[in-house]
Amino acid sequence: MKKSSIIVLVLIAVAIGVIVSSFGSFSTYETFASAAEKPGNTFVVMGTLDKSKDMEYNPKADANRFIFYAKDQKGAPLRVVFNGTKPQDFERSEQLVMTGFVKDNEFHCEKIQMKCPSKYENDQIVVADKKQA
């Protein structure tokens, strides 16, 4: 084999390695437990609303503080603090995609994407903290 062919094959292998490693770090869903292992880092957690626990929202006291409980994909519940207004029809959401970090055994949510039931198609509503948007 010629030297130039070997060099080309090595360059292709390096390029493939770089591409595969960059895709590995793209948005994978974490659990609350795995997010708690790395405090201060932002993660995306997919889960559902824990309807067995009460939500806390008092717009007269603080319209930008909404607290609820969610269960991650493994069913582990955690208190979620969202610094934003309570989304309309939040209770009807089938699935939540929450972006944030774990601090003091709470998930501090910066952005919520809700998957809501629909007769015709799956609607997705994105709600973000006004400071982040």
d(CA 44, CA 22): 17
Q: Identify the domain containing residue 44 by its residue range.
A: 28-128
Is the pLDDT assigned to residue 22 strictly greater than 90? no
Whole-model pTM: value is 0.68
Please compute the mean of the pLDDT values over residues 6-10 and round it to a whole number: 87
Tell whether the torsion through CA atoms of 68, 44, 129 and 102 is positive or negative: positive
Examine residue 5 and state whether it is found in any structural domain, yes or no.
no
Examine residue 9 and state whether it is found in any structural domain, yes or no.
no
Please compute the mean of the pLDDT values over residues 55-75 and round it to a whole number: 93
Is the pLDDT assigned to residue 119 strictly greater than 80? no
Examine residue 95 and state whether it is found in any structural domain, yes or no.
yes
Domain tally, the chain:
1
What is the per-residue pLDDT for 10?
A: 87
What is the per-residue pLDDT for 44?
A: 94
Helix (H) or strand (E) holding 123: strand 123-128
Under DSSP, is residue 10 helix (H, G, I), strand (E, B) or coil?
helix
- What is the CATH number for 41? 2.40.50.140
